Structure 1
Amino acid sequence: MNIDDLKSEWQSAGQESLSEKELAMMTRVRNHPSLRKLRIKFMTEIVALTAFLFLFYDGLDGAQKPLIVNILLIISITIYIINNALSYYHIQNPLVSGNFREALAKQVHSLKRLAVFSLTSSVVYAATLLLFLTYQTAFTQRKYIILSALIVTFSLLFYYSWISWQRKITHFRQLEADF
């Protein structure tokens, strides 16, 4: 491509006018690629956890566990799924007000609250899952190693999740400070 072709491309760029409807669709928060990735992640989690709920009773000897352990597992998974759905809904429909700075402050506050709920529901879910898996288990050295690996893995996942939430909150704080 020579310089004249580049100049003519530059001159013709942006001359296509978009309709109001097309512009509105492009600027909608719901169409953001990050939300698409988040939606895929949440849907995958919901499908996997729902399948787990249907299979744990027979596949993981849930019938041999006490009823309270099964109920705690079901409740913790349900809370985790509901928290994810509410978080996604909140992120998809941000708070809008006339004052942009005030809206950013509210967004920072709600993200902090979402982070606490998300991390708490994750910890509760992991703890009840470990309780379910280890209840009435005769531990050997190998099983202690597996349990330790699970605890380390969960800890790393919580830490990564915490870092991710902090990054999001810091981003909105910076937007508020820059405004």
Structure 2
Amino acid sequence: MEQDALKSAWQQAGSRPGAMQHIPAAGRSFPPALKAIRRQLLVESLGYAAFLLMYYDFFDGREKPFYLNALLVLCISLMLLHNIAGYLLIKNPVKAGNLKQSLTLYLQRVRQFSVVSLLSRLLGISGLLLFFLAQITWSATKYWILAGVLLFLGIQLFSLYRVWSGRIGQISSIVKDLDAA
């Protein structure tokens, strides 16, 4: 009798009018994390665009050689493209035949993107530093300031590496758990 009631409930599931209305905008809304990433991408993009519009006058771009101006624009564009690629990686998860295959492919994409992330950050910061440090008259104090900036940037890159290692470790452990199951 108990199985008949369960079977009957299963067959009637979703047949009530309005049964699916309690799910708000199913398939049309984005997860909160994705909204936060999209908002961050918008703010950073506006910041990069504002910087590119103002650097020529505010940071004496007209007095610097063309190759430094081109390098700066390229580095800012690289950082912007990196942010867009990260957003697309998160927004479009891999959909394979089953959950294990999907996570395995996603893990591969995240590993690749982590390398791209670290390299693009390093190249972007290097380009910015080259632009701003190109025509400085150096003194001992300025070398110490540069050493402090480089140390700070090294700590940032190491922290970024640790964040990516943690994310990859979490996904790897899930894939291992699925292998064991």
Q: TM-score range by the shorter chain?
A: 0.7 to 0.9
Query: Aligned to 1:20, what secondary structure does the other structure show?
Result: coil
Q: Deviations over 1:98-121 (max 9, x none)?
A: 211111110010001111111111
1:171 is matched with 170
Structure 1: 5+ residue runs without aligned partners?
A: 1-16
How far apart are residue 44 of structure 1 and its match? 2.1
Q: Does 1:107 align with 2:106?
A: yes
Structure 2: 5+ residue runs without aligned partners?
A: 1-16
1:160 is matched with 159
CA distance in 1, matches of 2:75, 2:163: 22
CA distance in 2, matches of 1:88, 1:77: 17
The one of the two structures with greater contact order (alpha-carbon pairs below 8 A, sep at least 6) is 1
Query: Aligned to 2:23, what secondary structure does the other structure show?
Result: helix
Preserved CA contact (<8 Å) 1:29 1:92: no
CA distance in 1, matches of 2:129, 2:28: 38
CA distance in 1, matches of 2:172, 2:87: 20
Kindly name which structure, 1 or 2, has the bigger radius of gyration based on alpha carbons.
Answer: 2
* Percent identical residues: 25
How far apart are residue 170 of structure 1 and its match? 1.0
CA distance in 2, matches of 1:174, 1:108: 11
Larger deviation, residues 38-47 vs 112-121: 38-47
- Tell me the matched-pair count: 162
Preserved CA contact (<8 Å) 1:30 1:92: no
1:86 is matched with 85
How far apart are residue 39 of structure 1 and its match? 2.2
Match of 1:52, as an amino acid?
F
How far apart are residue 141 of structure 1 and its match? 2.2
CA distance in 2, matches of 1:88, 1:29: 17
Q: Does 1:23 align with 2:23?
A: yes
User: Structure 2 vs 1, CA of residues 107 and 135 (structure 1 numbering), >3 Å: closer, same or farther?
Assistant: same
Alpha-carbon RMSD: 2.1
Query: Aligned to 2:35, what secondary structure does the other structure show?
Result: helix
CA distance in 2, matches of 1:35, 1:52: 25
Match of 1:175, as an amino acid?
I
User: Structure 2 vs 1, CA of residues 49 and 22 (structure 1 numbering), >3 Å: closer, same or farther?
Assistant: farther
CA distance in 2, matches of 1:168, 1:54: 35
1:142 is matched with 141
